[in-house]
Structure 1
Amino acid sequence: MKKLVLGTLLMAGMLCHGPAAAAVEYKIVTASERGTYIKIGRDLAQFVAPSADIQLDALPSAGSAENVRLLRYEPGIKLALVQSDVYQSFLDIAAGGNAAARDMIAPLRVIMPLYNEEIYFVVRADSERNFIHEIKNAKINAGESGSGTALTSATLYRLMFGEAMPDASASYLSNEEALAKLVTDKTLDVVAVVAGQPAKLLVDMKPESRKLIKLLKFDPGHPSSKAVLKTYFQASVRASNYPNLLTEDIAGLAVKAFLVTYDFQLKDTESHLRGMARSLCQNFSVLQEKGHPKWREVELALPDLGRGWFYYGPTTRELRSCIAGEPARKRVVSRAKPSPPPAKECPQQERILGLCK
């Protein structure tokens, strides 16, 4: 009897003083192992997620377009990094009647805007091209199929020249494969790269690289620039970030990066994501001090979004209350409106986004 009583008391003690619940396992999809997105994802995993009782795994991917699909349909993926032009393209195509695009983008929500990501167009050092607006009819590696880079390349080309990038002169290789072809067999004329500076791919280049390749400049005074700057932003590619490639800063272009989630309704998921937002706010100075240099360009704010874009209500309330130093209050979150019936055509933009059947 004594042993039974003692065993019962010990069991009760274990129940009362047992270990804390394990952290929930979430995933964030980023981009290439050599890009900026995966560093940002790992920073969130290291400096933000633990305080929200989340074990966050930063996964590499083909880029923003694939991230939208993975976030929408892949179990366990709760966060994604997505370029603004990719997100907007899904919205535009959905509004045009594409049911696949509508189903994919309608339930996605923005947590917060992050930073501008630079767009690079790389050519051989002996190329006659010096400016981005000179890439017309060139053999261009637009970026991997399904990536944000490929969509950015196609969008920029269309904005500059009023027509789609010719399929016959476009390829969709990885950055590494494309750069090798650019300087060896010369079957490519231009390689497009999208990555926040300092981009590891360019940082790791040796001093002799300057004899092999160069970056094209953006000319804000060119007639095509007005249309381009309605979607993209002017940027400066700094020589201090790429001393083996540049002797001086050059004018460039950039696209905005966003931290995105799904419109989760489950209370447990909603609670953890609120904790993630609170921790992001509280550890923001740590991110800027110890994280990737791009964190220093991020503003802890929730500006108005474009038409068809929506913030995720639970994280929005948490971030706003943290920024203001007030307790969070619940409010109604607006929903995306249904779009018209599906369209029949499948142009280049939709092919890149993987929306063709």
Structure 2
Amino acid sequence: MLKKTLIGLTGLCALLFAICAAAAGGTGGNPAHYKIVTGPERGTYIQIGNDLSKWVAPPAGIDLEVIPSKGSAENVQRMRFEPGVKLALVQSDVYQAYVDMANSGNQDAGTTIRPLRLIMPLYDEEIYFVVRNDSPMKTINEIKDKVISVGLIGSGTAQSATTLYRLMFNQPIPEQNTQHLSNEDALAALIVKKIDVAIIVAGQPAKLFTDMNPDLLQQIRFLRVDPNAPETARAKQTYFPATIRVSSYPNWLKEDVPTWTVKAFLVTYDYNLRDTVGNLNRFADSLCDNFDNLQEHGHPKWKQVKLELPSLGKGWQYYPPVEKHLKACLARRAAMQAAAGSGSGTPERAAASQKLNRRPCSEQERLLLLCGK
């Protein structure tokens, strides 16, 4: 009798353990290990990734590893093909470039971008046009035919720089005038007069400048948007006006500098495995629950993020499970705010990585890391 009782108790304990483990849904002692690809070590993306890893991932039962990268185009590729990468930060113009190339018939671009899905838009990133302090240039429309560092191949900076130049001047940057340097190397080359302009994309305040030696900072400055230049009107087809504020660099800038901006998005894949879907749903719930913490304790750019899901252009889609959770969260927050009278609101990855012999790559394909696929 005692033996049967013990066996029964053992079975009951096992059953209770299984029920508790199932109820935990992955939020217990064995968190899911995911990766988010971000950007350069001194950029804004990696700080945004660190904030998500600190404030959002742990309550969702996710151990989120923050991975530096060259930038948006590399992030798209790694999001699509690298095991373990479940989240990526991507510039809107880079995402749109993939969509446009896919729509034009580029099979590699289609294979890469069509299974990707958006979680939500984040904030605007400023585009810095940096010159030496002794440069005769004052405005952005004066960079034509100058030697320019446009950023590393695979970076969002390279996409923004080349797209802006093409919009402004109706032609690509001459190959002999193009340098693909990292942000740090570009500033060094600028100071020693190896290039004329360094184009850098980063949300302000950017650690690249806040951590820079004050003596070196005094040797460089930013070009301004000329509102009356015809090049400015053409750039407005894709990019939006922004301001680099004195408050972001109070020990350096003497006045605000008008420039251009590009939107950053949090991106995932169209996953359908139950565990992955569940983990990302919990991530969405935690993002909602901890949004105020991100705005209070995270990078200053979080204060510009709105917890909303605006309509998307053709070829852009939200990730349906997360979209459902975020919309439910938005409804709850709106109801709570209305009640308070505040009136304010806030198939698992396919293994399609086989490479095809292709014709020579275009400049756009090189920047989007589609060469050799």
TM superposition score normalised by structure 1: 0.90
Matched, 1:105 2:120: no
**Residue 94 of structure 1 is aligned with which of 102, 110, 121?**
102
> In structure 2, what is the equivalent of residue 158 of structure 1?
166
2:246 partner SS: coil
Contact 2:241 2:258 in 1 (8 A): yes
Contact 1:208 1:244 in 2 (8 A): no
**Residue 285 of structure 2 is aligned with which of 278, 285, 304?**
278
Cα shift readout 1:247-290 (whole Å, capped 9, x = no counterpart): 11111111000000000011111111111111111111111001
Matched, 1:64 2:79: no
2:284 partner SS: helix
CA distance in 2, matches of 1:159, 1:345: 24
1:303 partner SS: coil
Matched, 1:348 2:356: no
> In structure 2, what is the equivalent of residue 260 of structure 1?
267
CA distance in 2, matches of 1:178, 1:325: 47
Contact 2:246 2:256 in 1 (8 A): yes
1:325 partner SS: helix
Structure 1: give runs of 5+ residues left out of the alignment.
327-341
> In structure 1, what is the equivalent of residue 179 of structure 2?
171
**Residue 50 of structure 2 is aligned with which of 42, 46, 61?**
42
Quote the RMSD (CA, aligned, Å). Answer: 2.2
Name the aligned partner's letter for residue 71 of structure 1: M
Q: CA deviation at 1:50?
A: 1.2
> In structure 2, what is the equivalent of residue 183 of structure 1?
191
> In structure 2, what is the equivalent of residue 332 of structure 1?
none
Q: How does 1:181-260 map to 2 (within 5 A)?
A: 181-184=189-192, 186-260=193-267
Q: CA deviation at 1:129?
A: 0.8
Hey, which bits of structure 1, 4+ residues long, moved more than 2 A? 1-21, 205-211, 342-347
Matched, 1:84 2:99: no
Equivalent residues, number: 341
CA distance in 1, matches of 2:199, 2:245: 18
Give me the identity figure in percent.
52
Structure 2: give runs of 5+ residues left out of the alignment.
22-27, 334-356
Q: CA deviation at 1:243?
A: 2.4
Contact 2:77 2:369 in 1 (8 A): no
Q: How does 1:295-310 map to 2 (within 5 A)?
A: 295-310=302-317
Name the aligned partner's letter for residue 179 of structure 1: L
Q: CA deviation at 1:180?
A: 1.1
Q: CA deviation at 1:70?
A: 0.1
The farther-off stretch of 77-86 and 173-182 is: 173-182
Structure-2 change in CA distance of 1:161 and 1:345 (3 Å): farther
Name the aligned partner's letter for residue 70 of structure 1: R
Q: CA deviation at 1:209?
A: 3.1
CA distance in 2, matches of 1:208, 1:199: 17
Q: CA deviation at 1:152?
A: 0.6
